[in-house]
């Protein structure tokens, strides 16, 4: 694998933070975890 694991995790986790910041205006860890858990679950399904 050419890219390290942390780079994959960074790219995978950044869009929810950015989307929540743009839509909600306050990107907190709890807010992102609560609001995007169903979204991430659908992607992993």
CA angle (18, 28, 30) in 5-degree steps: 115
* Interacting residues of 6 by C-beta distance below 8 A, sequence separation 6+: none
pLDDT at 40 (0 to 100): 62
pLDDT at 37 (0 to 100): 61
pTM here is: 0.27
Distance separating alpha carbons of residues 4 and 25, to the nearest angstrom: 31
Contact of 15 with 30, CB cutoff 8 Å: no
* Burial class, 17, CB count within 10 angstroms (exposed 0-12 / middle 13-18 / buried 19+): middle
pLDDT at 13 (0 to 100): 72
pLDDT at 30 (0 to 100): 52
pLDDT at 39 (0 to 100): 64
pLDDT in tens, 1-45: 677 887 777 777 777 777 766 666 654 555 545 555 666 666 666
């Amino acid at each position: 694998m050419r890219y390290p694991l942390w780079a994959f995790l960074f790219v995978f986790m950044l869009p929810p933070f950015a989307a929540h910041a743009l839509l909600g205006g306050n990107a907190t860890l709890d807010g992102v975890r609560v609001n995007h858990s169903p979204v991430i679950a659908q992607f992993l399904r």
